[in-house]
Structure 1
Amino acid sequence: MSDLVLYSHPFSSYCQKAIVAFYEKDLPFTPRMLEDEGAMAELKALWPFGQFPVLQDDDRSFAETSIIIERLDQVSPAVPMIPIDPDKALEVRFMDRVFDNQIQANQQRIIYNALRPETDRDPIADAEARAKLETAYAWLDGVMAGRTWATGETFSLADCGAAPGLLYAHWTHAIPARFEHLWAYRRRLLARPSYARALDEARPYRGYFPLGAPDED
């Protein structure tokens, strides 16, 4: 097996998503910490947009976290993050898109807005992102009423993204207590050994969270 190199930062939600898949598979990799200027230069040589994580696998590189995890399934298929059955795989990919586009994207819109100088902040964009999170929370609470994991009883690609997505989303715009099924799912995600490990590795960087990280998680 080739040496898998992951350009990442432990506090990044999308990096955590990829790292959870590595831990689920018990798949070794070499981390390249992006606080190192040299590592960031290497990443931009592979992916000029500068977004992370990026996976380097010998002479090939892979960007975009869901694609990275699909690559890990090719490298280590024994513990698949995407089912072989095409209908089940479609459901996993759909829920993965929900967590990326409806949870993580809107959470990050709020954070990016908060990082701007106060005079440049956009209250309309902030309100829109919060409203979309409220819609997502309500929808997910209904979906999770009869499920253990995002698509049923098997942990998958979708759960890899849901774990950091729901962690940071609640920190940013609190999940209402009435969404009991979503809260129960979030607790299961935080207790999953693969994510608990990734979360512990991120703890030294909690001061980076611009809205203030709560003690509860």
Structure 2
Amino acid sequence: MPLTLYYHPLASFCHKVLIALYENGTAFEKRIIDLADDADRAELQALWPIGKFPVIRDHGRKRDLPESTIIIEYLDRFYAGQHPLIPDDWEAALEVRLWDRFFDNYVQEPLQQIVGDRLFGTKGDLSKQRSTLKTAYVMLDRQMASRIWVAGQDFSMADCAAAPALFYASTLEPFADEFSHLRAYFDRLTHRPSFQRVIDEARPYFPLYPFADAIPTRFL
């Protein structure tokens, strides 16, 4: 197998890469990393000393790549499928990268801070993080008023980022009824076969998620 993905089935940034791999039917081997296990953690740090997943190893090119966006960029360059996740056109690609960063920085980051607070029982002031999620929802509802996918006509890396980010964020701050465009977009994402496969694989691990009781029953 030319590629090995070091990941965890519950981790949202890992979901982002899995969606990209499944979208194009890319062959790869899975290596689940349990960060609570000393040996697993050491194995991951040998590849990426920061110790965060996902990391992908390209055995043929002898390269180890971290960071979900970088991994997808690499896959689109060297393991491209029938449907590119980053357009060739510069302007279109810039739009994809913009919304990819939007989901990572303004949805994933605050949601992870909220989850971490619950996980470690720090009971911090999370009003800023929740406000950021609500602002992101407003912007997304406006963005999705006249389109199917977030960065253009085709499913892209930005949508790979959107699916897990919105899945977990909605368990913390549910989408308000007035965000009809955002709700419709999320519904399209959840019907994407690549994302459905990711959720199926994550399901056995849902009890480990600190807000598991907020996961809608349709995903259980």
TM bracket, shorter-chain basis? over 0.9
Percent identical: 44
1:86 aligns with 2:86: no
Aligned letter for 1:107? Answer: L
1:149 aligns with 2:158: no
Per-residue CA deviation, residues 92-113 of structure 1 (Å, 9 max, x unaligned), is 0000001111111111111111
Provide the C-alpha distance between the structure 2 equivalents of 1:134 and 1:19, rounded to a whole number of angstroms.
Answer: 27
Determine the structure 2 residue equivalent to 1:100.
104
Provide the C-alpha distance between the structure 2 equivalents of 1:177 and 1:6, rounded to a whole number of angstroms.
Answer: 38
Structure 1 vs Structure 2 CA RMSD: 1.3
Determine the structure 2 residue equivalent to 1:161.
161
Provide the C-alpha distance between the structure 1 equivalents of 2:80 and 2:14, rounded to a whole number of angstroms.
Answer: 21
TM-superposed CA distance for 1:133, in Å, is: 0.5
Greater displacement, 138-147 / 38-47: 38-47
Determine the structure 1 residue equivalent to 2:4.
5
Determine the structure 1 residue equivalent to 2:185.
185
Greater displacement, 204-213 / 135-144: 204-213
Please list, as runs of the form range in 1=range in 2, the aligned pairs for 1:27-176 lying within 5 A after superposition.
27-35=26-34, 38-58=39-59, 59-78=62-81, 79-117=83-121, 120-123=122-125, 126-176=126-176
TM-superposed CA distance for 1:178, in Å, is: 1.2
Provide the C-alpha distance between the structure 2 equivalents of 1:200 and 1:107, rounded to a whole number of angstroms.
Answer: 21
* Unaligned segments of structure 1, at least 5 residues: none
TM-score scaled by length of structure 2: 0.92
Q: Is the 8 A contact 1:7 1:39 kept in 2?
A: no
Equivalences, count: 212
Per-residue CA deviation, residues 189-213 of structure 1 (Å, 9 max, x unaligned), is 0100111111111000010110224
Per-residue CA deviation, residues 144-173 of structure 1 (Å, 9 max, x unaligned), is 011101112200000001000000000112
Provide the C-alpha distance between the structure 1 equivalents of 2:86 and 2:67, rounded to a whole number of angstroms.
Answer: 16
Q: Is the 8 A contact 2:4 2:58 kept in 1?
A: yes
Provide the C-alpha distance between the structure 1 equivalents of 2:155 and 2:40, rounded to a whole number of angstroms.
Answer: 31
TM-superposed CA distance for 1:38, in Å, is: 4.0
SS at match of 1:195: helix
Greater displacement, 72-81 / 83-92: 72-81
TM-superposed CA distance for 1:37, in Å, is: 5.2
TM-score scaled by length of structure 1: 0.94
SS at match of 1:55: strand
Provide the C-alpha distance between the structure 2 equivalents of 1:115 and 1:204, rounded to a whole number of angstroms.
Answer: 18
Aligned letter for 2:13? Answer: Y
Q: Is the 8 A contact 1:32 1:39 kept in 2?
A: no
Going from structure 1 to structure 2, the CA distance change for 1:80 and 1:37 (only over 3 Å counts) comes to farther
Provide the C-alpha distance between the structure 2 equivalents of 1:40 and 1:75, rounded to a whole number of angstroms.
Answer: 28
